[in-house]
Amino acid sequence: MNPIDQNPNRLENVLKEALRRQDAPENFAADVLARIDQKSTESEPQHSWMSIFSRPALRWAACAAVFICLTLGGIHYRHVQRERAKGEAAKQQLMLALRIAGSKLQLAKERVNDINAARPQSQPESRTPRSRS
Amino acid sequence: MSTAIRNLFPIILLLVVPFVLRAQDLKLPPDIESLSAKAKETVEVNMDGPMLRWASKFLSKEDPEEKEAAKLVENLKAIYVRSYEFADEKAYSAAEVESLRSQFRTPTWSRVVGVRSEHDGENVDVFFRLENEKMAGIVIISAEPRELTFVNIVGPLEIDQLADLGGEFGIPRLKTKPPSSKPLAKADKGDRK
């Protein structure tokens, strides 16, 4: 059996002892402030890569690289757009050619059908009308 | 006599071969371009193999009409179209059209359909080029009073598929007049040379 269970007053005493009000040790505030300072100085090296831009040459090089990238990107985009426009125009031409060819072929087909339909029924089906020319 | 023929043979060959080759590889009849000067509106399409392949890349796979066109174009080698619309009737002569037609009256070409309409003056000629009994090209010459159209499609193609395209792409199928007792048009079909 637990000794605390044997004596309930002992539990109370243990709690009182544990939760007893204690004054902060001397220099507590100073220690806390010192640690905060220490942490802030430790965290500084994390941003150290930004320090490379403090050098003017590198700063200009970075600016030039960004400018070149943007320019090349823009040129490529324009090239793609132009190629797409040319492709669309070619597609339209192709469709137009097919439309014209199809419609003329359709015209010939319809005319032949017309002539076949207009022939008297007495004529044999297999006979094809011949051109007089 | 035989010696004379033997001596003349290379000359005859030199004279004939270019004509035969010209008829086989004829893209556009040379005299058709002269008609563009008289035309009010001109449509010119020149698409060879690489251009066709490239243009067909832009055909939509979702659009059923463009999908059909892509299938049709897949094996084609070239498409050449000249369509001239004239302000006046008789802007071109019958002789000029006949000159166009005559360039396809060669052994390599077969005149499959020839429609002559005295009523509305619509004349259409369709020539096929066969290679090993397979379709290798089609030429369509359509002469209407104010319009002259020349189409040369090089390569194997489905004729029915192409004719179907005439009634699609927003162009309605051509309506024909009800058959009258007296035929207005004359046609010959299967007139193989």
Within 8 A of A98 by CB-CB distance, chain B residues are 69, 72-73, 79, 162, 165, 169
Is B45 in contact with A97 (Cβ distance < 8 A)? yes
B127-142: average pLDDT: 89
Tokens 């066969």, residue located: B130
Q: Is the pTM of this model over 0.80?
A: no
Lowest mean pLDDT among A37-41, A87-91, B185-189: B185-189
Q: Does residue B91 sit within a domain? A: yes
Beta strands across the sheet bearing B147-154: B41-47, B78-85, B147-154, B134-144, B123-131, B109-117, B185-189
Q: Residue B125 above 90 pLDDT?
A: yes
Within 8 A of A122 by CB-CB distance, chain B residues are none
- Interface test with chain A among B115, B119, B127, B139, by most A beta carbons within 10 Å: B115
Q: Is the ipTM of this structure higher than 0.90?
A: no
B128-139: average pLDDT: 88
pLDDT of A6 reads 66
Band the pLDDT of B20: cuts 50, 70, 90.
Answer: very low
Q: Residue B133 above 70 pLDDT?
A: yes
Is A114 in contact with B177 (Cβ distance < 8 A)? yes
Q: Does residue B88 sit within a domain? A: yes
B56 in Cβ contact with B73 (< 8 Å): yes
Q: Residue B168 above 60 pLDDT?
A: no
Q: Does residue B53 sit within a domain? A: no
B183 in Cβ contact with A129 (< 8 Å): yes
What does the mean pLDDT of chain B come to? 77
Q: Residue B63 above 80 pLDDT?
A: yes
- The predicted-structure confidence for B69-85, as pLDDT tens digits, reads as follows 898 898 899 999 999 99
Q: Does residue B106 sit within a domain? A: yes
- If one counts the domains in chain B, the total is 1
B56-81: average pLDDT: 90
Q: Does residue B125 sit within a domain? A: yes
Band the pLDDT of B189: cuts 50, 70, 90.
Answer: very low
**Which of A104, A108, A129 comes nearest B186 by C-beta?**
A129
**Which of B47, B114, B163 comes nearest A105 by C-beta?**
B163
Q: Does residue B24 sit within a domain? A: no
pLDDT of A46 reads 59
Q: Does residue B193 sit within a domain? A: no
Residue predicted with more confidence, B92 or A133: B92
DSSP string, B22-80: HHHH-SS-GGGGGGGGT-SEEEEEEE-HHHHHHHHHTS-SSSHHHHHHHHHHTT--EEE
Is A111 in contact with B122 (Cβ distance < 8 A)? yes
pLDDT of A47 reads 62
Q: Which structural domain range is residue B140 located in?
A: 40-46+77-169
Q: Does residue B126 sit within a domain? A: yes
What does the mean pLDDT of chain A come to? 81
Instruction: Tell me which chain B residue has its CA closest to the CA of residue A100.
Output: B166
Q: Residue A60 above 50 pLDDT?
A: yes
- The predicted-structure confidence for A84-105, as pLDDT tens digits, reads as follows 999 999 999 999 999 999 888 8
Chain A positions contacting chain B at CB under 8 Å are: 84, 87-88, 90-91, 93-115, 117-119, 128-133
Is B66 in contact with A95 (Cβ distance < 8 A)? yes
B105 in Cβ contact with B166 (< 8 Å): no
Instruction: Tell me which chain B residue has its CA closest to the CA of residue A120.
Output: B181
